[in-house]
Amino acid sequence: MHYPLPWAGLSADDIPMTSLPSTLTDLPLLSETELAELDRFLASDATPDQTMMVDAIDGYLTALSLGPVEVPTERWMPGIWGAGGAAGPRFQDAEQERHITGLILRHRSGIAAALDANPAGLNPIFDAVSYQDKAREYLDGEMWSYGFIQGISLARSAWQPLFEDQEAMEALLPIYVLGADGLTPEQRLLGNTPLKREALTRRIPVSIDALWRFWHPGHRPTARPAPTVPLRHAEARVGRNDPCPCGSGRKWKKCCGAH
């Protein structure tokens, strides 16, 4: 998959908000500093409570990048800010709007380029979380998987051939168990402990490769795999939309989870 390059050589701040592309460009990948900056904005009071964080956005954009159809930017961008995208963020000014939007577009472009180079080498953004009653931290791809499932939902009818293929559905299973609603009791058992969730999370890179190959059977990778580097959180596991354990009454991602 190759994308046109109308903005080649431009930085994120050069991308005009009034002209969001339907296809993305090969802009540079975000640095760790830029990912941290984006995550701080997403967790701030300027965004709706249901805004995706960087890990969920990473899964969301991965589904859009490897799927069977191109979803226009003006259709998927609102989904980052919550269900239906009715209430977007409150940007300080047009410059901040261009900057944050540019970071998201660059991340979308970077994922697409990484998949094109080598789908087996994509570096998903997972949580590495600790639990109060556990001695070590565990990888947890829940929010990444949630984002991926939301990305599928934007073009569900186009994904139907995959749903009818048993091998492809087996590849999707780890993502589905971690990120979907309405699981059967048997499916919930597959991810009902931190160790099981970690095992499912570690299968996701293999799933990405298999799903990409399902939709792009003639693709040949051009680069070597890259290691998965998780996000790490020192605090005990708390859902992003759960009440903050500090007792403030605010959601965790808008309170202690924002730091």
193 part of a folded domain: no
C-alpha–C-alpha distance, residues 182 and 188, integer Å: 9
| Domains identified in the chain, total number | 1
**Amino acid at position 145, single letter:** S
Structure tokens at 112: 């697409």
* Residue found by looking up tokens 């998949």 in the block: 115
**Amino acid at position 74, single letter:** E
Structure tokens at 168: 């492809």
84 part of a folded domain: yes
Which pLDDT tens digit goes with each residue over 44-101?
A: 999 998 999 999 999 999 999 999 999 999 999 999 998 655 578 999 999 999 999 9
Structural Rg of the chain based on CA atoms = 18
Domain containing 162 — which CATH number?
A: 1.20.120
215 part of a folded domain: yes
Q: Show the domain range for 54.
A: 12-119+141-185+201-222
**Amino acid at position 45, single letter:** D
C-alpha–C-alpha distance, residues 251 and 233, integer Å: 17
245 part of a folded domain: no
Helices marked H in the chain = 32-42, 54-66, 73-76, 94-117, 142-153, 160-163, 166-179, 185-189, 194-215
C-alpha–C-alpha distance, residues 31 and 48, integer Å: 25
164 part of a folded domain: yes
67 part of a folded domain: yes
239 part of a folded domain: no
158 part of a folded domain: yes
The per-residue pLDDT string of the chain (259 residues; one tens digit each, 9 = 90 and over) reads 222 222 233 343 443 333 333 344 455 678 889 999 999 999 999 999 899 999 999 999 999 999 999 999 999 999 999 865 557 899 999 999 999 999 999 999 999 999 999 998 888 999 888 888 778 889 999 999 999 999 999 999 999 999 999 999 999 999 999 999 999 999 999 999 999 999 999 999 999 999 999 999 987 766 554 444 445 443 344 554 556 656 555 555 545 554 4
